[in-house]
Structure 1
């Protein structure tokens, strides 16, 4: 049926103009303020330009000068950081204890299990960096939604990065391996919601390979990776601030990791699944002020099923996901120089053949709804794009490790097939709360999930034909907000209680708005 979109496009354009103007005005104000308070633009020359997320055993945690960028130092991609030792040699005390001497010493460790009597340091000196974590997301809705429930889900991960340059003395790249195990139940199915309120629920509650790949830094200008990987690591991904994922300061899966519409609209490979794939990253200026990247990933709609946990082949492949991205870093690091800004533009082409968006209408309606003769057709090739930006708004003069960052993302999907052709996330994160809590965070953010207007128009036409009381629900959108407090009593533990409020659960007016009480815990082994 023909649908008039002029009014909707004008509204979207107006909203985008207001949001964009607001963001740019904040950026200009923040950069001006920074220039007034800091006349230097110091660099972090010793930062590892390749390492993405790592835990160094005998340090005091993530360097506060870490650049505000997921893809490494915005300054240094020169020798001797290429193809040689990436981690400085750390002396191992001869009398290293297996267990901490006191509870206070235990809390001061960078990881919960410590240095394993010096073994962890020895492995790191060899170029082998083990990693492990435990995450749990609990949530309950005392009011709103279809029914009231409490749900718990967890993830355990174990893996290692092997740096062959450090292990052998020759630049043979890096080997990555990560296994994850998920279990538990999701509250999003009970409310219900279009996006899971629990970031670690889903993708088959089982054990699976999340990463099994080889990465090579060829020069100052080029990096590659090939193997079983997920797109979320490198395209549409969150920026890192203070050594932490900015988006994953939220429990909502709509925000954490990447804007969720990328996954719902296409064959985007999301964590913790792993797809056969490869990418190429180019640094035109030999540093990470600018990044140009492209990739190719297998599209497999069954990969998140429990029965395919160890699937490494191309069986059930429907096509290829082809993303590209351009990233820019402006300003200094988190603690030095001008207040940092990160901007990313990206897009994708998915070669899969899928049903158009009308095939998803039944998911919004009652099981006995009369949907008429739905105009379902096959579509070959889906496309879309994204814009992501974050800006440090301020940095405390008395303590440069304390600061505030705002972010916003806009995702657009193929209107023929996308369930959420327009999707917006936003947030503000403050690190450093009370005078004695420099590492705690307060985070406020949310999402705007606009359901494809073709579905609403189709239902509206049926209501005109059959009468407004025909029992059909007109899909429009699901929006949500989240407020939480991240308590970090030690480097290896995060405890994050919070609140979520969801407008129009399930994307219709069928259920009352839902309030969620959530509780998240993260432990680094």
Structure 2
């Protein structure tokens, strides 16, 4: 009976998808072609996009207390193709902004190392990215300069993007160890990024930028993410230190089992507080990472099984809260032959600094251990412009067994969420 119900759902959803799969590209936005005006703008070098995301989260078990939460983010982006507009050999100019709504809940009452959601942030309307980019040498070299979100290019896994927990998009290690959680959404930092692609298999990425997108101090007990220190996102800070990224990518060209493999690291010239004594500062920081995305099985029809694994590591336990983190998971692409759907199961963990643990023992408090997170998610493309994603997460030992403000150990958490995304 259960198999029959699943088959019926697959047939029904497949029929619904086929109804809009062959329509024009602009049918995949809620507002369509704007009476042909959108196509005219694009032909003349103007691309304008709006995406609205909303999430509803319920935490009936665990944390410091049960809670229900809403968060949302609307992103507006415009890209100008200056070659089309001017007729000159110029590149592209891009600008974007984010309107963030709702109240963050991962710090309290959940007390987790990283956010439950990739769009969870302080409630602000802020400038996001502002950049100019140009390609050279038959597009082998691509240069971009401006205020950049470097997580678009570095440390990323395409397969992991199917999950909602922020640790799968931006790892737990840089999120906890860099200033302001690092140059990742909704923050961007003044930087220059180079991409060199000598052939179809290899790609080298490098960047240098400011290591402190906000320009505030490292610790702020009243504003843990520091985002409210620059609520508009218009501060261009250059005063703390330089953040360098270097990454090599290998794209495995295989008609059946293609894959992407990345090896890289970052270095930071700024100063970082000691994990035992905040008054003591350490100059410089670094970390290494590796990422693997691989198709592991091709099933009947459109279905494919993809897997990913990512590890990050540093030996600077005196200045980093997290010394290594691991994320891994499997994703069934096109379940029920629905091309744009995905069913995923992910796992991750983060290990805190031994220096921090020793200082907590000396202070008579419970030392932090490893935190583990699990996620089961289904991305359902209802129509071209709307995706709906139910999500279940479990957090084991939030922040490694940390205590809440009342002195009680934060309990393991069960988290239920619903994410929607609308393209206008």
TM-score under structure 1 length normalisation: 0.69
Offset from partner CA, 1:135-162 (integer Å, 9 cap, x none): 1222111111210001111100111111
Q: Judge which range, 307-316 or 379-388, deviates more.
A: 307-316
Which residue does 1:225 correspond to in 2?
144
The correspondence of residues 427-442 of structure 1 with structure 2, limited to 5 A, is 427-435=329-337, 437-442=338-343
Which residue does 1:378 correspond to in 2?
281
Q: In the alignment, is the contact (CA less than 8 A) between 1:137 and 1:251 conserved in 2? A: no
Offset from partner CA, 1:90-110 (integer Å, 9 cap, x none): xxxxxxxxxxxxxxx899911
Which residue does 2:208 correspond to in 1?
296
The correspondence of residues 253-264 of structure 1 with structure 2, limited to 5 A, is 253-255=166-168, 257-264=169-176
Which residue does 2:5 correspond to in 1?
none
Change (3 A) 1:327 1:511: same
Equivalent of 1:321, from 224, 243, 257? 243
Which residue does 1:277 correspond to in 2?
191
Q: Does 1:499 align with 2:392?
A: yes
Q: In the alignment, is the contact (CA less than 8 A) between 2:190 and 2:213 conserved in 1? A: no
Change (3 A) 1:359 1:485: farther
Equivalent of 1:520, from 411, 414, 419? 419
Change (3 A) 1:442 1:225: same
Q: In the alignment, is the contact (CA less than 8 A) between 1:137 and 1:199 conserved in 2? A: no
Give the superposition deviation at 1:236: 1.3
SS at structure 2 position matched to 1:248: helix
SS at structure 1 position matched to 2:174: helix
- CA RMSD, aligned part only? 2.3
Give the superposition deviation at 1:512: 2.0
Which residue does 1:9 correspond to in 2?
none
Q: Which has the higher strand share?
A: 2
| Structure 2 gap ranges (5+) | 1-19, 216-225, 403-408
Which residue does 1:181 correspond to in 2?
99
The count of aligned residue pairs is 384
Equivalent of 1:408, from 304, 309, 316? 309
Give the superposition deviation at 1:338: 3.3
Change (3 A) 1:288 1:169: farther
Equivalent of 1:456, from 357, 362, 382? 357
SS at structure 1 position matched to 2:63: coil
Which residue does 1:250 correspond to in 2?
163
Equivalent of 1:422, from 318, 324, 329? 324
Q: In the alignment, is the contact (CA less than 8 A) between 1:112 and 1:492 conserved in 2? A: yes
Give the superposition deviation at 1:396: 3.3
Looking at structure 2, the residues matched to 125 and 322 of structure 1 have their Cα atoms a distance apart, in angstroms, of 37
Looking at structure 1, the residues matched to 24 and 206 of structure 2 have their Cα atoms a distance apart, in angstroms, of 43
Offset from partner CA, 1:410-435 (integer Å, 9 cap, x none): 01133221111110011111122225
Which residue does 1:142 correspond to in 2?
60
